[in-house]
Amino acid sequence: MPHGQPPAADGPLAAAARLTSARALRHRPLSTAVHEVDLDDGRTVVVKRGDGPDAVRAEAAGLRWLARADAVPVPAVHGSDEHWLVTDRVPDGRPTPQGAVRLGRELAALHAAGAPAFGAPPPGGPREAAIGRAPMRNVPGDDWPTWYTEHRVLPYLRTAVDAGSLRPREAAELERLCARLPGLAGPAEPPARLHGDLWNGNVLWDADGRAWLVDPAAHGGHRETDLAMLHLFGCPHLDRVLDGYQETAPLADGWRDRIGLHQLFPLLVHTVLFGRPYARQALAVAEAAG
């Protein structure tokens, strides 16, 4: 059996039954790894196959940590094991301007719930976590520019060079930008409680137009990083999201100029996963920084 794969007999129906103690009636695949499962007690749950025990443990711990902030809604965790995660299903809906303002306010409250340090994993979460299919190491640090450079930029930069997606002279340009980061990072901020992988696909809108967050790569970080990822990949009514955020917890002056710096992390992750086009975007950030 390949490492990280569940036994063939242990599919989403069996996993749902085992982890919820209910009888699983039927399932509908949403992707190769995610299924909706109807239970005999009337619930419909989402059953997700993880890439390994640490990935499942990290996601389950992240969802619970975000939920404890009592800010943005996240699906409740009904059970998990080495291979499977079972959570609530978010009822399908559409984004609304009012829901976007509420999301901004709730994101601000989530970030304000804080974290023990930059890079701190959720309680019970592993040090060796993941963002999408890329590894992500949660190593605590006290100084954001130093921590961000060492643990969120350079590891992916080196992997991209090794894979040929980034040329050594281009990597040197990004390293020079990292050396300047303390002077570009803006006022010091306390560690925020981040979703950590906040692209549009991980924001689900329910039947009431309220936003829910799924699939976190949760850790302690800079609050502008979550917002920069929303800018990078788009979000419905993003201006209204920012209005709600600014009403609740105004961002430091110059935050728009720092969006690219915070996007280096997801851009380099995507360079590792998907190749050269994202490397060009990362280099554009360095060029814009001057």
| Dihedral angle computed from the Cα positions of residues 16, 136, 156 and 231, in that order, rounded to the nearest 10 degrees | 70
Q: Measured between alpha carbons, how far is 100 from 209 in angstroms, rounded to an integer?
A: 8
Q: Measured between alpha carbons, how far is 178 from 144 in angstroms, rounded to an integer?
A: 12
Whether 226 sits among the annotated catalytic residues: the reply is: no
Active-site entry in 38, 197, 215, 226: 197
Catalytic residue numbers read 197
